[in-house]
Amino acid sequence: MTGLSDPFNRPINYLRISVTDRCNLRCIYCLPPEGISLLPHREILTYEEIAAVARLAAELGINKVRLTGGEPLIRAKLSELVAMLAEIEAIDDISLTTNGILLKQYSAELKQAGLKRVNVSLDSLNRDKFKRITRHEKLDEVLKGIEAARACGLNPVKINMVVMRGINDDEIVDFAKLTIDIGWHVRFIELMPFAADNPPEGHSTGDKTGINTQFMSAKEIKKRLGSLGRLEPSHPITGNGPAKYFRFPQAAGTVGFISPVSQHFCFNCNRLRLTAEGKLRPCLLSDHEVDLRQPLRSGASPEELKKIITEAAQSKPQKHQLTKGKVSGKRLMSQVGG
Ligand code: SAM
């Protein structure tokens, strides 16, 4: 096999880059209300360093990158990074995962710089509940951001909803209805237990299997949608990610399900992650990481850096261990990027 691969012959062609560990929301399943330590700026990779890593990764076989965080849009001049990545010929897809608050402000310049599409995380359409989940009153900004991104052609804009029983599961049908009414592409994501050593408030990592009481499986979520009609399987709208797509017969938009817990998709995993401080993380749900920042800053050659990236890919575990009760312990999701 040519290109980057792991020991299980999975081709690795997708790099998720976290550009910051800071966020302008504090979602209850992602961050505690206060008191986490943030990286000082000097510890965060510069845009030049990120682009250098992306260039080497592209030489090895990466052709898709996604920017994430923290909240990527709070890092200054993100479109400059997008433009640097867009210059890398082998990278043909640059996307962004955001909470959408700043999208209205930045959509046009991001598009101009070469961003192809965005995913917006939105867990409630109800003002009070949005505030309860995110601890901020920013629903209107997010909705305006989604419309701005669609209007700019950052399509398809995918809306990602993390479903939590007893918190926002009563809105599953409302979200799905928007695939019919206004053509949204909505993806329902299973809640993952994360940061076992330091769980966010209100998000107990629960029993040994890590499945807590707020967890709702994709199967159950899908069943709830029966009231809207028959869901028919649909082709993926873009990419080859883990979502399974469906469509209501009369809908312009799609409904996707992402089930990292109930039906893991590790056998198809094509990802490496780069944290804001320059660690390569081969698996979202394992704490194993490989440092790139120190070699980058101490003058390692391109060949040495490529060797580190290749070795990181080669250290990917076959699958995550959630069902055996092993969850990622050290980092919060905001420190990895989802
Ligand atoms: N700030 C950006 C955003 O809101 O999309 C990017 C970073 S955020 C950590 C990336 C994604 O991870 C979001 O869609 C968020 O909902 C998801 N996420 C965070 N914690 C999660 C958890 N415990 N289970 C499932 N998804 C989670």
The 10 Å CB-count burial string (b at 16+, else e) for 59-91 is: ebbbbbbbbbbbbbbbbeebbebbbbbbebeeb
Q: What is the mean pLDDT of residues 226-237?
A: 91
Cβ–Cβ < 8 Å for 287, 331: yes
State how many domains the chain has. Answer: 1
56 is a domain residue: yes
Q: What are the backbone dihedrals phi and psi of residue 67, each rounded to the nearest 5 degrees, phi first?
A: -95, 135
Which residue's CA is the closest to the ligand 1 atom numbered 20? Answer: 30
Task: Give the Å distances, CA to CA, from 67 to 46, 51, 61, 222.
Answer: 14, 12, 18, 29
Residue recorded with tokens 């206004």: 182
The answer to whether position 3 is within a domain reads: no
Do the domain assignments include residue 4?
Answer: no
pLDDT surpassing 60 at residue 213: yes
The per-residue pLDDT for 205 is: 46
Q: How far is CA 313 from CA 8, 80, 83, 195, 258, in A?
A: 10, 28, 26, 23, 23
Nearest C-alpha neighbor of 19 from the set 87, 88, 94, 121: 94
Respond yes or no on whether the N-terminal peptide bond of residue 72 is cis (omega within 30° of 0): no
Q: What is the pLDDT of residue 265?
A: 84
Q: What is the mean pLDDT of residues 35-52?
A: 95
Q: Using the mean position of ligand 1's atoms as its centre, give its distance from the Cα of residue 114 in Å.
A: 23
Tell me whether residue 8 is in a domain. no
CATH number of the domain that residue 52 is part of: 3.20.20.70
Confidence category of residue 110, pLDDT binned at 50, 70, 90? very high
| 188 is a domain residue | yes
The answer to the question of residue 6 being in a domain is: no
d(CA 253, CA 183): 4
- Compute the distance from residue 328 Cα to the ligand 1 centre, in Å: 15
Q: What is the DSSP letter of 14?
A: E
123 falls within a domain: yes
By most ligand atoms within 8 Å of CB, the mutation choice from 119, 121, 221 for ligand 1 is 121
Q: Is the CB of 194 under 6 A from ligand 1?
A: yes
Query: Which residue among 23, 25, 29, 284 has the greatest number of ligand 1 atoms within 8 angstroms of its CB, and so is best to mutate?
Result: 29
Does pLDDT of 198 surpass 60? no
Cβ–ligand 1 distance for 98 under 6 Å, the answer yes
Shortest-distance atom of ligand 1 to CA 194: 23
Quick one: pLDDT at residue 331?
84
Distance from Cα 71 to the centre of ligand 1, integer Å:
10
In a domain, 300, yes or no: yes
Q: Which domain holds residue 291?
A: 14-335
Q: Is the CB of 97 within 6 Å of ligand 1?
A: yes
Q: Residue 191 in contact with residue 220, Cβ under 8 Å? A: no
Distance CA 94, CA 100 (A): 17
* 36 — pLDDT class (breaks 50, 70, 90): confident
